[in-house]
Structure 1
Amino acid sequence: MSKIEEITRDIVMPVIIQNKYELVDVEYKKEGSNWYLRVYIDKDGGVSLDDCQLVSEYLSSKLDEIDPLQNSYILEVSSPGIDRPLKSARDFEKFKGYLVEISLFTAIDKKKKFVGELMGLFDDKILILENGIQREFNIKDVSLIKPVIKF
C-alpha cells in the first residue's frame, strides 16, 4: 500500500465509521496521463449515489486541507461492485458459502483458475469445495479471488 493510500484511509475513516460504511479498498494509480485516487465503500443493503457523494465531498475537503498529493488527480468514490475481489478477512467471512473463482500466479495441475464454494480463510489458507473435493490454496499464491456471478 502506498503512502497516499494509507493517508487517504486515515482521512476517510471518520465519515466511514459515522455512517456505518465499510471501507473496502483505496487505490492510487496512474492510468494513461491521469492519476486516480479511488475509494471503494460498501454497506448493508448496498451503496447509493448519495453515499458516494457524501464520502467524496468529505474526503475532497480534507485532502484540500492537508494537500498530501503532489500530482493533480481524479477522485472517485464508488461501490466495489458485485464481483469485487475478496481482500479482507471480513470479505472471506461475508462470502463464505458462495461460489468463488480463484486465479493463481502459478498453475497447479496445468490449471490457474479454480471455481468452488468458499469454505473460508484459515491461517493464510483459502479453502474451497470444488466438485465435492476440498482444495486449499496459500493466499500468497493467489493473484485474485472473486465471487462468481450467475444471471
Structure 2
Amino acid sequence: MGYEVVRIRLGGGMQTVLQVMIERADRVPLTVDDCAAASRAISAQFENDNLPAADYTLEVSSPGIDRPLVRLADFARFAGFEAKVEMSEPLEGRRRFRGRLQGAGDGCVRMTVDDHDVSLPYDMIRAAKLVLTDELLAASQAAERL
C-alpha cells in the first residue's frame, strides 16, 4: 500500500490496544485518510487469516514529529536532530542519554551528549525518540510544503 511499519505495540489497561505506527514510503506526511485505509486493510487481513477474535482496539497512527527511533537506519536518517535514548543496561554509568544524533553504523548509534561523542550499542537500546525542538518542527514543516 506504500506504507512502512514504524512500530507495532500491544498494550493497554482496561482495553487492549494494538497500535500500528506507519509512515508513507515516499516520506510524504501521513493523512487521516492514509491511517483509515491502512486500518481497513489490516482488519481485512486479520479476517482473511482467520485470526481468533480478540478483545482489542486497532489503532493505526503516524509516528508524529517526535517519533520513536526503532531501526538502526532511523538513527542515521535523523542525524543532526536531538534525541533521547534509554539503554537496557547502564553504559558509562548511565541509562539515559540526550543529545544530537551523529549517525549510525557498525551496530552503534553515535551521539554528541554534553559536548562528548558517545557510541551506543544498538542492541542495548531499550527506547529512543526524537526530541520536539524548534529545529525539528521547522524541518517537518518544510517537508510538508514539498
Q: The TM-score by the shorter chain falls in which range?
A: 0.7 to 0.9
For the 8 Å contact 2:21–2:62, the answer to whether it is kept is yes
Alpha-carbon displacement from aligned partner over 1:92-143 (angstroms, at most 9, x marks no partner)? 2221111111222333454332222111222221111224321111123322
3-state secondary structure, aligned to 1:52: helix
1:56 corresponds in structure 2 to: 39
Structure 2 unmatched runs, 5+: 135-146
Question: How far apart are residue 42 of structure 1 and its match?
Answer: 1.0
Aligned-partner Cα distance in 1 for 2:67–2:88? 19
Taking a change above 3 Å as real, the CA distance of residues 131 and 61 of structure 1, as seen in their structure-2 partners, is: same
2:71 to 76, 85, 88: 88
The aligned amino acid for 1:90 is A
Question: How far apart are residue 38 of structure 1 and its match?
Answer: 1.7
Q: Are 1:107 and 2:90 matched, yes or no? A: yes
2:51 corresponds in structure 1 to: 68
The aligned amino acid for 2:49 is I
Taking a change above 3 Å as real, the CA distance of residues 86 and 135 of structure 1, as seen in their structure-2 partners, is: same
Aligned-partner Cα distance in 2 for 1:89–1:104? 14
Q: Are 1:121 and 2:129 matched, yes or no? A: no
Question: How far apart are residue 54 of structure 1 and its match?
Answer: 0.6
1:79 corresponds in structure 2 to: 62
1:3 corresponds in structure 2 to: none
1:28 corresponds in structure 2 to: 10
RMSD after superposition:
2.0
Aligned-partner Cα distance in 1 for 2:82–2:47? 42
For the 8 Å contact 1:35–1:71, the answer to whether it is kept is no
Question: How far apart are residue 47 of structure 1 and its match?
Answer: 1.0
3-state secondary structure, aligned to 1:87: coil
Q: Are 1:37 and 2:18 matched, yes or no? A: yes
TM-score, with normalisation over the residues of structure 2? 0.77
Taking a change above 3 Å as real, the CA distance of residues 106 and 90 of structure 1, as seen in their structure-2 partners, is: closer
